[in-house]
Amino acid sequence: MKFFNRLSRILRRNVPYAIFSWRYLLPGQSAVVRLHKLVFLHAFLGESRVVWFVIALFSYTRWFAFQGWIQLWTVWKKLSPVLQEETGITRNKQFADLLKLVFGQTTPPLFYYSYRLYCYSTIEWLNFIYTHELPNWHLLMSPNLGEKTRNTLTDKAVFAQEMQKRGLPVIKGDVIVKGSIVSNKQLFRQSSLFLKPLCGSQQNGIYRLFYQESSGGYSLILSEDDEINNCEQIITFVQSLINEQDYLVQPMLQNHPVLQVFSSFKTLITIRLITICTDNKAKAISAVLELPRNDYSGYIYALPVDVCEGIIEKITDFPVTYSDEMCQMLRRFVGQAVIHWRELVDVALRAHTNFSDLYSIGWDLAVTPEGVKLIEGNINWAVAPHQLNGPALMPYFIKYAKPNLKQTK
């Protein structure tokens, strides 16, 4: 049943699981082309080639027959007038480029605008890593990934325990086990709490329980327009969550005052730091400062940070998907330093040495009034925020993936 559920999720995807490019058929392929080809050919590690073929046949037939056309038309119709007004690139030229991207490289058309691919030649488009290649991309780069590493990074409580043993500054929390009865004592502690699935990801199922010290009341935030203020109803709602899965309850972290100036919202500002590990040595390769767009949605603005200096880097150009107001606001932060940067990097590097079988990890960290906090490590981390300013990630994968690249020759 587990296999069929997984297969069903894959087949319901409205984008291909990897890039399928005509360049794969050419002689003398570059390392970049071979790396994308490797992900395409060796996706779904552990499954039989028959399963791989069925998924590929269905996925790419669906993409070429109608899904690619639908997305191309929808994105072009919405964003091409904006880009033409800003850059002078005609809508016809954009449409022609999108045809090459969507069908010559089986890549969702939105990346043409979010990655600013119109600034690059078509061969340079493969210098980027694309979201629809995940998680196959990350798993392929770590062929020796063990179950212990996978389980530790998946289970947030186990992760906190293991990192605390190694002297790293983690966030303590309590687990409410699936199916158990939620009590007042677990939720109403005269302090604000952060509730998240024990093994969840991508902000799904996350809730904030605010405590109002002046009134002694509690508010569980569901969305921008919806919250629960009655304690009995809060218990009932959380109980419905616990009936489905384990939850981790943690103290709600506050931003360091120096960091809080970057945002007008109370939501925690996080630092996503990418490290790679080769020959048991960890190295930081990319970082972004994640600013909340509001207090409710979980969406963020990603500002590139110089890994060595901790300085917010100049943004060459913003995607057309950003409004003028967003761009003006974000430009104000260029050149400013992220507090406690060296400690942030040091914590991430020390953490990665415990998972030497995993090539790259996306770390979530925060800086609070009490100092640096390590929140979690991600196996299937998002590549897009680290490439909005250019294809900064690919050189590291090319350099250290040489043994794997031989498989495609």
Place of tokens 């082309």: 33
pLDDT reported for residue 47: 80
> Could you tell me which residue, 339 or 294, shows the higher pLDDT?
339
> Could you tell me which residue, 4 or 185, shows the higher pLDDT?
185
* Per-residue model confidence as pLDDT tens digits over 132-145: 999 999 998 998 89
Please tell me the number of Cα atoms within 13 Å of 169 on its side-chain side. Answer: 16
SS3 at position 194: strand
> Could you tell me which residue, 396 or 187, shows the higher pLDDT?
187
- Range with the lowest mean pLDDT among 6-15, 40-49, 91-100? 6-15
CB 244 within 8 A of CB 178: yes
* Per-residue model confidence as pLDDT tens digits over 289-334: 999 988 777 788 899 999 999 999 988 777 777 778 888 888 889 9
Q: Provide, rounded to the nearest whole percent, the portion of the chain with pLDDT above 90.
A: 73
SS3 at position 77: helix
Mean pLDDT (whole number) for 233-257: 95
| DSSP string for 12-54 | T-SS-SS---GGGGSSS--HHHHHHHHHHHT-STTS-HHHHHH
pLDDT reported for residue 6: 63
- Cα 19 to Cα 305: distance, rounded to the nearest angstrom: 28
Kindly report the number of other CB atoms within 10 A of residue 403's CB atom.
8
pLDDT reported for residue 202: 61
pLDDT reported for residue 405: 44
CB 305 within 8 A of CB 312: yes
Reported residue count of the chain is 409
pLDDT reported for residue 85: 92
CA 290: distance to chain centroid? 11
| DSSP string for 129-154 | --GGGTTHHHHHH-TT--HHHHHHHH
> Could you tell me which residue, 242 or 52, shows the higher pLDDT?
242
Kindly report the number of other CB atoms within 10 A of residue 407's CB atom.
12
CB 243 within 8 A of CB 178: yes
When the pLDDT of each residue in the chain is averaged and rounded to a whole number, the result is 91
- Whether the pLDDT of residue 288 is over 90: the answer is yes
Mean pLDDT (whole number) for 190-207: 86
- Whether the pLDDT of residue 374 is over 60: the answer is yes
Of 151, 145, 193, the closest CA to residue 172 belongs to 193
- Classify residue 384 by its DSSP letter: G
- Whether the pLDDT of residue 190 is over 80: the answer is yes
Reported confidence tier of residue 231, pLDDT bands at 50, 70, 90: very high
Mean pLDDT (whole number) for 101-114: 96
Helix (H), strand (E), coil (C) string for 250-297: EECCCCCHHHHCCCCCCCCCEEEEEEEEECCEEEEEEEEEEEECCCCC
- Whether the pLDDT of residue 407 is over 90: the answer is no
Place of tokens 């569980």: 220
